[in-house]
Amino acid sequence: MPKSRTPQEPSDPEPSDPERADVVARLSAAGRANSAVTVMFHSAVAARQGLNATESKTLDLLIRKGPLTAKDLAAETGLAPASVTGLVDRLEAKGFVRRVKHPTDKRRVLVEFRAEKMAGLTEVFADWGREVEEFCEEFTTAELETVIRFLDGVADRQRRAAARLTE
**Domain range list for the chain:** 26-136
Structural contact between residues 35 and 28, judged by C-beta atoms closer than 8 angstroms:
no
Strand, helix or coil at 129?
Answer: helix
Give which of 117, 119, 151 is closest to 132, Cα–Cα.
151
Within 8 A by CB and 6+ apart from 88, the residues are 70, 73, 97, 99, 111
What class, spelled out in words, does domain 26-136 have in CATH?
A: mainly alpha
pLDDT tens per residue across all 167 residues of the chain: 344 445 555 555 566 789 999 999 999 999 999 999 988 988 888 888 889 888 988 998 999 999 999 999 998 888 888 899 999 999 999 999 999 999 998 889 999 999 887 776 677 788 889 999 999 999 999 999 999 999 999 999 988 888 788 77
Distance CA 27, CA 10 (A): 16
